[in-house]
Amino acid sequence: MLNHQLYNDLLLKFRQQYHREPAVVAYAPGRVEVLGNHTDYNEGFVLSAAINFGTFFACAPRAGDTCRLTAGDLMQEVSFRTGALKPSREHGWSNYVKGVLSGLGARQPLTHGFDGMFLGDVPLGSGLSSSAALEMCAGLALEKLYGITVDSLSLARIGQLAEHKYAGVKCGLLDQISSLFGKTGTLVETDFRSLSVKHVPLGRDACLLMCNTHAKHALVDGEYNQRRAACEEATAYFATVLPHPVTALRDVSWQEWETRHAGLPELVARRAAHPIGENERVRKGSRLLAGNDLAGFGQLMYESHESSRTLFENSCPELDAIVAAARQLPGVLGARLSGGGFGGSVVALAHPRDAAGAAAALATTYRHAFGRTCDTCVLVPSDGARLVPR
């Protein structure tokens, strides 16, 4: 599902900025995490979806080794050389493209520069992964421009490495895989140990609502990395006390956590409990969707949010208020924070006939509680990243 107006705006701005047509255009969607929070880097399971908001990246070859990159919404341009790529503090948005270009350049020499521009409609800071959308559309466009062949999982890893080395966020592969492997009308179920993907139909009786709180959502301040470090500490502990191999929290059952967690520092034990419980919820949720038990699936979403709030502590008052309000609405079956947390968005499950009323009610409740607007919209599970025919 492409936003043709956004695409046309990108082409117009590209012509105005560079006085020529782009040679390649690619598109990648954002993603919503429906169930499975902070399980990806713990080699667990996630149910996610590519969504009907995304980013376009247009580029054309340029003589020499200089690259010019423009953020189409800001119309700000930065220049850098293919052989001297390093993160920028002043223009942080450029780091995602630089990181991807570096990853591609490690596979094949970059023989020329480029003129590039990106433009998207994924709400920034909403927890819908505008960064992965940018990485994946830039990756597809630049590999085409340079004649580099990269399979989808390798491209996802290049995007992940860009986050690690250029943006300073030790993310897993959830965002990139969701953006690449989306399929209309389905959730993407990913096993982050085998990196196998399957598609689970959401069904016609359900839709997803996004409630963007505009609350702070800055994972580079260290909170995300602290949670990951706690998970790694817990993994190392369980590997010494359980009678079977443990290489990630995916290998620890809830029952094993209950009987063995006393040997961990209390805070680390609570942090570990969240992804362990999430893994079990995802596997149960997939079975419930297969049986069209939307009410049961929605209850798992509420349980997921409560775990985020009390165990992982990656929620915030704004997100909690929306989830609490959703529980009181008969048209909403489930709700939880989506993404890394610490702000951003809530995703809610509702019947399509109830979506408009639920969205209005949640927005009103939020405005009364916080005195500011909460954006709401319907998220449509959509196809993943691809090149746009020229």
329-367 residues labelled b (16+ CB within 10 A) or e (exposed): bebbbbbbbbbbbbbbbbbbbbeeebbeebbebbbebbe
Examine the pLDDT at 323 and tell me if it is beyond 60. yes
Residue 140 tokens read as: 């597809």
Q: How far is CA 135 from CA 24, 147, 156, in A?
A: 15, 17, 9
User: How far is the C-alpha of 97 from the C-alpha of 377, rounded, in Å?
Assistant: 28
For 234-270, how does the pLDDT look when each residue is reduced to its tens digit (9 = 90+)?
Answer: 999 999 999 999 999 999 999 999 999 999 999 999 9
**Cβ–Cβ < 8 Å for 343, 321:** no
For 82-129, how does the pLDDT look when each residue is reduced to its tens digit (9 = 90+)?
Answer: 999 999 999 999 999 999 999 999 999 999 999 999 999 998 767 788
Catalytic: which of 175, 293, 320, 375? 175
Mean local confidence (pLDDT), 352-364? 94
Compute the CA torsion angle 253, 255, 256, 257 (nearest 10 deg). Answer: 90
Burial class (CB in 10 A: 0-12, 13-18, 19+), 175: buried
Mean local confidence (pLDDT), 271-285? 98
User: Which domains can be identified in the chain, with CATH numbers?
Assistant: 4-200+383-387 (3.30.230.10), 202-379 (3.30.70.890)
- In the structure, what pLDDT confidence band is assigned to residue 217 with cuts at 50, 70 and 90? low
- Indicate if the alpha-carbon torsion angle 365, 366, 368, 369 is positive or negative: positive
- In the structure, what pLDDT confidence band is assigned to residue 287 with cuts at 50, 70 and 90? very high
Residue matched to tokens 């989306």: 182
- End-to-end alpha-carbon separation of the chain, Å? 17
**Cβ–Cβ < 8 Å for 170, 224:** yes
Residue 274 tokens read as: 């969240």
pLDDT at 346: 95
- Is residue 175 part of the annotated active site? The answer reads yes
**Cβ–Cβ < 8 Å for 348, 34:** no
State the alpha helices, DSSP H only, in the chain.
4-18, 94-105, 130-146, 152-162, 174-181, 223-241, 254-260, 266-290, 294-307, 317-327, 355-370
For 14-48, how does the pLDDT look when each residue is reduced to its tens digit (9 = 90+)?
Answer: 999 999 999 999 999 999 999 999 998 999 999 99
Residue 81 tokens read as: 């050389």
